[in-house]
Structures are given as structure tokens and as C-alpha cells.
Amino acid sequence: MDFILDHYENPRNAGSLNGDHEHTHSCDVKQNGGNPGCGDIITVCLKFNDGIIEDFKFEGEGCIVSQAGTSIISEIVIGKSKEEIMGMGPEVITEIIGEELALSRPKCSTLGIQTVKLAIKEFEKQEAKKEALG
């Protein structure tokens, strides 16, 4: 539990998605995700380099599990290919936070990975449109 609290209190890769003048962070794709029922909301911002996630930023609010889970996922997906990530199941987070917590809060624990997958699908749609328009 200390590990999860640490990720919640000191989230990795969290930060403004708009960037400030010194640190402008440009996204290839920005995706919202959330469980409106329990007030968990996140926005992820992904930057790709040759099909690999090069950078990941997120903002959000909600329960400890959803926010810590997204922080943990951010560390896992940086450096991975879109295909690797699309092949990840909920066990990627379950193995880290423990089955008991993941099963008691499935939507919260998988919010991060689900939102990243939505972002990848959106990015691929954008890329296909660019190709179609030439």
C-alpha cells in the first residue's frame, strides 16, 4: 500500500499538458478517460517516436487507485511500442498493485491503461486521415 500511496502523493509523469513557455509539451494525441460514477477523471498526453511512446504526461483527479494506477502505467508504457501496449491486459496493473485491490476497484485500477489504449486508437485514426489526405 505504501507503494501506491507514494505514486498517489508523488505521481510520475504528471504535469500540465499545455506546458508553459519554458517547457512546452507537445502531444501527438490527447485523450480523456474517466469513471464519471466515482469521479475519476484523467487526461493523458502521448508523444510518439516511430510508433514508440517517447513521452507521457497526465492530469487527473479522483481516488488514490485511479491516480496511482495511471502514474504506474505511465512508467510502464514509456519506451514501449503501440502494439505492445495494445496487447496488455488488466494483469499489467494487477500484478503491481495486487489482485485484491485491483479486483475490488477494477475500473479505477485499469483507468490508466484503458485511456492509453483509447489514445493509441485515436492517434492511429489521425495518422490514417493524414495518409488519406496525402
- Domain of 44, CATH number, reads 3.90.1010.10
Residue 114 maps to a domain: yes
The string of DSSP codes covering the chain is -HHHHHHHHS-TTB--SS--SSS----SEEEEEEEGGGTEEEEEEEEEETTEEEEEEEEEES-HHHHHHHHHHHHHHTT-BHHHHHT--THHHHHHH-HHHHHHSHHHHHHHHHHHHHHHHHHHHHHHHHHHH-
For residue 130, being part of any structural domain is answered with no
Which residues span the domain enclosing 70? 2-118
Number of folded domains in the chain?
1
pLDDT in tens, 1-15: 789 999 999 999 998
58-116 pLDDT, tens digit per residue, is: 999 999 999 999 999 999 999 999 999 999 999 999 999 999 999 999 999 999 999 99
> Is residue 131 assigned to a domain?
no
Residue 10 domain-assigned?
yes
| 127 falls within a domain | no
Within-domain flag for 128: no
Supply the pTM of this predicted model.
Answer: 0.91
Give yes or no for residue 38 having a pLDDT over 90. Answer: no
